[in-house]
Amino acid sequence: MSAPVVTFLSDYGYRDEFVGVCHGVIASRCPAARIIDITHGIALGDIHSGALALRAALPHMPAGVHLAVVDPGVGGKRRAIALSTATEGHTLVGPDNGLLVHAAEALGGVRDAYDIAGSPVASRTTTTTFDGRDLFAPVAAALASGTAPGELGKAIAASSLVALELPAARRDGAILLVPVISVDGYGNLELAAFELGTGVLTLELGGHVRDVQIVRAFSDVPPGELLAHVDSRGAPAIAENGGSAAARLGLAPGDLIRVRL
Amino acid sequence: MSAPVVTFLSDYGYRDEFVGVCHGVIASRCPAARIIDITHGIALGDIHSGALALRAALPHMPAGVHLAVVDPGVGGKRRAIALSTATEGHTLVGPDNGLLVHAAEALGGVRDAYDIAGSPVASRTTTTTFDGRDLFAPVAAALASGTAPGELGKAIAASSLVALELPAARRDGAILLVPVISVDGYGNLELAAFELGTGVLTLELGGHVRDVQIVRAFSDVPPGELLAHVDSRGAPAIAENGGSAAARLGLAPGDLIRVRL
Amino acid sequence: MSAPVVTFLSDYGYRDEFVGVCHGVIASRCPAARIIDITHGIALGDIHSGALALRAALPHMPAGVHLAVVDPGVGGKRRAIALSTATEGHTLVGPDNGLLVHAAEALGGVRDAYDIAGSPVASRTTTTTFDGRDLFAPVAAALASGTAPGELGKAIAASSLVALELPAARRDGAILLVPVISVDGYGNLELAAFELGTGVLTLELGGHVRDVQIVRAFSDVPPGELLAHVDSRGAPAIAENGGSAAARLGLAPGDLIRVRL
């Protein structure tokens, strides 16, 4: 039998001991657990980016517990939750701020939801700012050890979970206004869903009209040229072969791209 | 029985192969070892930050070997050491420059200390700049394999270890001068120990007087407002709800905050 | 028997889910595999830096599969390869762009080479930009599970592999022109191979002549002073005791240092 898996995504970054401390808590409570770090480089408090990365990652992960902490409301009134999914064997743990729900959809949707704020396995502490260490990691470790979620929290309605609306494309006459939904480390621009089609995408950018080829691979256009393609998350994206489209076009998440229909 | 644990903290960063090479050395010499990275993002050569992060992390780690390398004096006259602690089952390995001693205190204090510079398990090499690879990782792997520290070095007096004085608050009339001792990735300002009390903290900052509420959670003040609280390391801290107090106030480790008594 | 090892180096960085997704793919297909991250901080698309880091790291790694992805030509015509080496038990997997060959040399040289682009274990996907996830990680996992490379690709001639010429020193009268081949996170300048000798190295830098002591340890010169030494990779290097030689001298990879003979 293979080791129980705990995957872990956060905005804790790589400077402080926060990620390591959560690993230590999990390893102390469930020594058999194998921890897979998805990333801890989510922009600070950026629930949208965290939700997109988690949604993209979980379908590639083994069954197990998926711990995710991007939690600007830590210590406040937001709930702490554990979610089982329609796809067997997966349980998501984190704050009830929308971070988890899109990833749960990617695993077939939420089956059961639990409020774990008062979990008996949480650490007693006088501080309120590190629920990753004091609440979420202990719950993840207990789940990885085989404890049923019902013993770690009280059932709540899936319909009561905080939703997170992702930006959507919308039509404006002959133009489709498409928000940039994320920018990866290479400067590739991921766009809100729309039918990319084939041939050429005509963009209006800063008053200029620009034709961009719709291709399968970066190298289908010359180095330094822009391209449109379906990216590794399955979303329409604008990239530059060998460069950063984000830097080239001066675009960031939330900005709108005008696409001619 | 669970795998022997080696935790690992350094200032090696995430750009080069240094961390991975140390993992490889440990895995080659003690294949059963499980390595937990605490962080490798300590500011280059910053022994103080490393000591604080290590002290904060070790109480949450399973028993095992704790490898820590922030070592600006590598190759020079500083000793290389292994320390067992009063709390059973923990051995710290690293340079004798103050990095380890506060963490050892957090585990009950140093029980036995060893000079491991001439350890029989060290790699023979003509270079002197990567003791993490050539000395500390081999010693950590040997300890994880069950070798007694006494076989890896010669006993030295705990009293001979290099001390590291952490900045302390001091009184100046009706003012308490409180040094910032660290800034985390969120821009939260950790302060030298003092009794935070309740109610309001009155600060003098850049000639201005500023009242800051003493609260339990970030969200106890409106977004964008400063607060004082006890942070996750148990230290008094100044933070901003949803922002960076360090950026807001222009403060860095070593700077003094004037607190009105 | 110890777990099969997969080491992993890339330029995927620490912001996105890319590294974690590859871990997930490997853990899903070969649950017993232990993954050792060498680094994912290679500069984007910098095959030279990746090749140097991989060459420096692999001799310290246990036998296993070595996955390396710095792949600006992903989706294009470059081949995807697996290489067994003269040193038993090691197989390298990655793009055929020169990234792997120097590391293979450090393990005795390439024994057998395979084109794995059409591997039966690759994921079917409509996107072409994430071969780490869709091709290389599945092949690495299959190798770690014991599948023979010949079942994962077709044999190709080692002589057909793409070479990667590393910058070399060259003589110009009484001057040796020595390229900086890499700069590590501390700002140490690694130079192309030449016989460092002993005593003093005389450099011409920006019109100035500068004598630099050739020493064994950083601390053999006063803090803030430059030094020359053999670095941890076995290469001649210029460093500053307690500082960044790269920042001090304004040098980057590819720049030439003029050494007086």
**How far from C11 is each of A183, A230, C89, C235, CA to CA, in Å?**
16, 21, 25, 23
| Average pLDDT of chain B to the nearest whole number | 96
Counting other chains too, the contacts that C195-198 makes at CB distance below 8 Å and 24 or more residues apart are C196/C228, C196/C229, C196/C230, C196/C236
CA closest to B219 among chain A residues:
A76
DSSP C44-106: TT-HHHHHHHHHHHGGGSPSEEEEEE--TTTTSS--EEEEEESSTTEEEEEESSSTTHHHHHH
Segment B130-155 mean pLDDT: 97
Nearest neighbour of A36 by CB, restricted to C14, C27, C127: C27
In this predicted structure, the answer to whether residue B246 has a pLDDT above a threshold of 80 is yes
CA C76 – CA C134 distance, rounded (Å): 15
Beta bridge partners, B14, equal none
- CB B15 to CB C218 under 8 A? no
- CB B185 to CB A15 under 8 A? yes
| Confidence class for position B128, pLDDT limits 50, 70, 90 | confident
Q: What is the pLDDT of residue A127?
A: 81
Nearest neighbour of C75 by CB, restricted to A2, A185, A216: A216
Residues 66-95 (C) with a CB less than 8 A from some CB of B? none
**How far from C149 is each of A178, A233, B57, C81, CA to CA, in Å?**
45, 29, 42, 10
> Is pLDDT larger for residue A129 or for residue C107?
C107
B225 vs A: CB within 8 A: no
Contact B231, B174 (CB under 8 A): no
CA A118 – CA A124 distance, rounded (Å): 11
In this predicted structure, the answer to whether residue C125 has a pLDDT above a threshold of 90 is no
For the segment B153-175, what is each residue's pLDDT rounded down to a tens digit? 999 999 999 999 999 999 999 99
Q: What is the pLDDT of residue B127?
A: 81
Q: How many CA atoms lie within 13 A of A126 on its CB side?
A: 8
Longest dimension (CA), chain A: 60
- Joined tokens for residue A220: 């289908």
Share of chain A above pLDDT 90, in %: 93
In the 3-class helix/strand/coil scheme, how is C129-197 assigned residue by residue?
CCHHHHHHHHHHHHHHCCCCHHHCCEEECHHHCCCCCCCCCEEECCEEEEEEEEECCCCCEEECCCCCC
The single-letter code of the amino acid at A129 is T
Compute the nearest-CA separation of C30 from chain A (Å). Answer: 10
- CB A2 to CB C31 under 8 A? yes
For the segment A30-46, what is each residue's pLDDT rounded down to a tens digit? 999 999 999 999 999 99
Q: How do strand B90-95 and strand B64-69 relate by DSSP bridges?
A: parallel
Write out chain A residues lying below 8 Å of B245, CB-based: none
| Confidence class for position B207, pLDDT limits 50, 70, 90 | confident
C219 vs B: CB within 8 A: yes
Write out chain C residues lying below 8 Å of B73, CB-based: 219
- CB A41 to CB C14 under 8 A? yes
Segment B170-181 mean pLDDT: 96
C124 vs A: CB within 8 A: no
CA dihedral C157, C158, C164, C169 (to 10 degrees): -130
Q: What is the pLDDT of residue B118?
A: 93
A114 vs B: CB within 8 A: no
Q: What is the pLDDT of residue C1?
A: 63
- Joined tokens for residue C226: 């430059």
Q: What pTM does this model have? A: 0.97
Phi, psi of A119 (to 5 degrees): -55, 140
Contact A205, A189 (CB under 8 A): no
DSSP assigned state of A231: -
Q: What is the ipTM of this complex?
A: 0.96
CA B151 – CA C127 distance, rounded (Å): 56
CA closest to B27 among chain C residues:
C62
Compute the nearest-CA separation of A173 from chain C (Å). Answer: 31
Q: What is the pLDDT of residue A207?
A: 82
- Joined tokens for residue C45: 């698309």
Chains in contact with chain C (at least 3 beta-carbon pairs closer than 8 A): A, B
Q: What is the pLDDT of residue A205?
A: 85
For the segment A228-243, what is each residue's pLDDT rounded down to a tens digit? 999 999 999 999 999 9
CA dihedral C104, C60, C42, C52 (to 10 degrees): -50
Q: C205: exposed, middle or buried (C-beta count within 10 Å: 0-12, 13-18, 19+)?
A: middle
In this predicted structure, the answer to whether residue C23 has a pLDDT above a threshold of 90 is yes
- CB A37 to CB C19 under 8 A? yes
For the segment C54-69, what is each residue's pLDDT rounded down to a tens digit? 999 999 999 999 999 9
For the segment C161-209, what is each residue's pLDDT rounded down to a tens digit? 999 999 999 999 999 999 999 999 999 999 999 999 999 999 998 888 9
Q: What is the pLDDT of residue B125?
A: 82
In this predicted structure, the answer to whether residue C53 has a pLDDT above a threshold of 70 is yes
Sheet holding A5-10, edge to edge: A34-39, A5-10, A64-69, A90-95, A80-85, A110-115, A154-156
CA dihedral A188, A193, A196, A200 (to 10 degrees): -50
Q: What is the pLDDT of residue B2?
A: 84
C12 vs A: CB within 8 A: yes
Nearest neighbour of B13 by CB, restricted to C56, C185, C229: C185
Share of chain C above pLDDT 90, in %: 93
- Joined tokens for residue A73: 């409301």
Write out chain B residues lying below 8 Å of C57, CB-based: 17, 20-21, 24
Q: Which residue has the tokens 């995710």?
A: A68
Nearest neighbour of C57 by CB, restricted to B12, B17, B129: B17
Segment C246-254 mean pLDDT: 95
- Joined tokens for residue A205: 């950018």
Q: What is the pLDDT of residue A1?
A: 64
Residue A227, SS3 per DSSP = strand
Q: What is the pLDDT of residue C127?
A: 81
Compute the nearest-CA separation of B3 from chain A (Å). Answer: 8
Top residue of C11, C14, C15, C16 to mutate, by most chain A CBs within 10 Å, is C16
- Residue B129: which of B47, B72, B87, B74 has the closest Cα? B74
Q: What is the pLDDT of residue B53?
A: 98
Residue C239, SS3 per DSSP = strand
Phi, psi of B177 (to 5 degrees): -90, 115
